[in-house]
Amino acid sequence: MGKELNRSTFSDEDFGMFVERLLEETDLVEAWEREGALSGAPITAGFEVEAWLVDAGMHPAPRNQEFLEKMDNPLIVPELSAFNIEFNGDPAELTGKGLSDIHAKLDALWQDACLTARGMGLDIAMIGILPTVADEDLCPANMSKSRRYKALNEQVFRLRKGKPIKLDIEGRDRLESVHMDVMLEAAATSFQIHLKVPDGQGATYYNASKLASAPLIAAGANSPFLFGKDLWDETRIPLFEQAVSVGDWDYAERVTFGVRYLEKYLSEVFVANRQRYPVLLPQISDRPTTKLDHLRLQNGTIWRWNRPLVGWDDDGKPHFRLEQRVLPAGPTIADSMANAAFYYGLVKSFADHETPPHRRAQFFTTRDNFYMAAKHGLRAQIRWEHTDGRPIDRVILDEFLPLAEEGLKAYGVDGGDIKTYLGIIEARVKTGQNGAAWQRAYVAKHQASMADLLAAYLERQATGTPVHEWDL
């Protein structure tokens, strides 16, 4: 979404001027990529972690403004709802001890935040969907005080012509709900992984990122419950897709896995942003075209599960990054870093393989694998290497983990880090206990309420022990 807006209402003239600037900036990014003008600096890794503020009764606590004032740390920022916050980290080179360095810094930031929260009588939950969040919690009164969120809500419903958002998710149970705002989005919190891509390989890395989405979400699923209903292993996926749906604009839904692989350039995505997606937030910037303010704002209102970003090195040279958005937050920082390592290694192997990603699986197969993995987690069956019905847990163990190891070695990642983080993924898959599986098993064993489940979850999360080792 970028920086705060200076206002929340817009005129027809604003929309017209914004589109003109967007055209200019998209043409510029296309030229940079085609002319090889992007950064050749080392590949870097980064992240964003969204989390919940929770009160003593295990309910969401809409107190993020007070919390942020007490923290006074620019690495922690507000999210859409007043009970959500986001942790950010400085990027690190994806080599040597880069992953464990990120881990240590995130852990220190997390511990500091937990101390601050406890001083307010609160806790912090790193989880895809808070089991105790109620439908009535997701209301405009609990929206963070920000003009950009107010404007986003208004513009989504402008495109919807005032029609309500109808949530309809069928998993183990069925859930239906109706909202006249975009606050359903606030129920989905994620661990977003960033990867700076090499100049000239943007399309290949992007396609590889899509290919990696199914095994990544199967191993990392952590969101089985919403409003007390048992739904998908990763219920965030249908929830977020429906939460900001623009209605009849089928080809331009704002949360999407996409419609095809890229053919040659990563900038094809930005061209699609310009051509297919109505502008939501036409804030006009007076800065030079090279700052890409309009392109970045438009891109920030399209939440692809794999989203490209444009940034700049310290020397001012532009670069592309990938933002992998399929993963939920949690269950622990160790689990999150293991997920990140798995992703980085897979993308590298897929991108560098003699058979390019878009030829390893047709796009519709990659898309279908993703949704099967989101719905069924480690119990999903996918199509891989031209064979249907393959259990995804076996494919992860037999093929994807070795590929991820090769990819991490090619980056130059420390051998100890590779063993530690991929070892967590291996153990999680062998036990079948990711976050979603543990939550369901705990509820089944104890006939637990959602509040009891969350209390048990937070107790184990506080130990930092990976979820595959959690007891029931």
**Stretch 94-100: mean pLDDT:** 96
* pLDDT band of 334, cuts 50, 70, 90: very high
CA 10 to chain centre: 29
**Does domain 12-467 bear CATH number 3.40.50.10860?**
no
pLDDT of residue 7: 65
Cβ 116 vs Cβ 70: under 8 Å: yes
Residue 9 has pLDDT above 80, yes or no: no
pLDDT of residue 251: 58
Q: Cis bond leading into 331, ω under 30°?
A: yes
- The pair of three-digit structure tokens given for residue 333, joined into one six-digit string: 């920082």
- The pair of three-digit structure tokens given for residue 324, joined into one six-digit string: 């992998």
Closest by alpha carbon to 61, among 142, 139, 149? 142
Handedness of CA 102, 104, 109, 111 (dihedral sign): positive
pLDDT of residue 472: 96
**Stretch 21-27: mean pLDDT:** 97
User: Going by C-beta distance under 8 Å and a sequence separation of 6 or more, which residues neighbour residue 469?
Assistant: 427
Residue 82: enclosing H or E segment and its boundaries? Answer: none
**Stretch 215-236: mean pLDDT:** 98
- The pair of three-digit structure tokens given for residue 135, joined into one six-digit string: 């439908």
DSSP sequence for 365-390: HHHHHHHHHHHHGGG-EEEETTEEEE
* pLDDT band of 408, cuts 50, 70, 90: very high
Closest by alpha carbon to 320, among 411, 200, 450? 200
Closest by alpha carbon to 23, among 310, 273, 318? 273
How many beta carbons lie within 10 A of that of residue 264, not counting itself? 11
User: Going by C-beta distance under 8 Å and a sequence separation of 6 or more, which residues neighbour residue 41?
Assistant: 196, 313, 317, 319
* pLDDT band of 289, cuts 50, 70, 90: very high
- The pair of three-digit structure tokens given for residue 285, joined into one six-digit string: 């910037």
Residue type, 8: S
Domain-wise residue ranges, the chain:
12-467
Length of the chain (residues)? 472
Mean pLDDT check: name the lowest of 138-147, 291-300, 307-316: 138-147
CA–CA dist 287, 294 (Å, integer): 10
Cβ 18 vs Cβ 295: under 8 Å: no
CB contact burial 49-84 (16+ within 10 A = b; e otherwise): bbbbbbbeebbbbbbbeebbeebeeeebebbbbbbb
Q: Determine the 3-state secondary structure of 312 from DSSP.
A: strand
Mean residue pLDDT of the chain comes to 94
- The pair of three-digit structure tokens given for residue 213, joined into one six-digit string: 């989405």
Residue 116 backbone dihedrals phi, psi, to 5 degrees: -65, -45
Residue 322 has pLDDT above 50, yes or no: yes
Distance set, CA 199 to CA 266, 291, 324, 429 (Å): 10, 19, 18, 34
- The pair of three-digit structure tokens given for residue 310, joined into one six-digit string: 């444009």
What is the four-CA torsion angle of 154, 156, 158, 163, rounded to 10 degrees?
Answer: -110
* pLDDT band of 253, cuts 50, 70, 90: confident
Cβ 332 vs Cβ 467: under 8 Å: yes
Residue 50: enclosing H or E segment and its boundaries? Answer: strand 44-54
pLDDT of residue 149: 85
- The percentage of residues in the chain with a pLDDT greater than 70, rounded to a whole number, is 97
Closest by alpha carbon to 131, among 470, 463, 444, 436? 436
Q: What is the pLDDT of residues 436-457, one digit of tens each?
A: 999 999 999 999 999 999 999 9
Residue 26 has pLDDT above 80, yes or no: yes
Classify residue 399 as left (phi > 0), alpha (psi -120 to 50) or beta: alpha
Closest by alpha carbon to 364, among 211, 203, 201, 249? 211
**Stretch 206-216: mean pLDDT:** 97
What is the C-alpha radius of gyration for the chain, rounded to an integer number of angstroms? 21
Residue with tokens 């000239």: 200
- The pair of three-digit structure tokens given for residue 297, joined into one six-digit string: 């704002």
Residue 43 backbone dihedrals phi, psi, to 5 degrees: -70, 135
pLDDT of residue 1: 39
**Stretch 170-184: mean pLDDT:** 95
DSSP sequence for 121-147: T-EEE--SS-TT--GGGSSGGGB-S-H
pLDDT of residue 4: 64
pLDDT of residue 6: 66
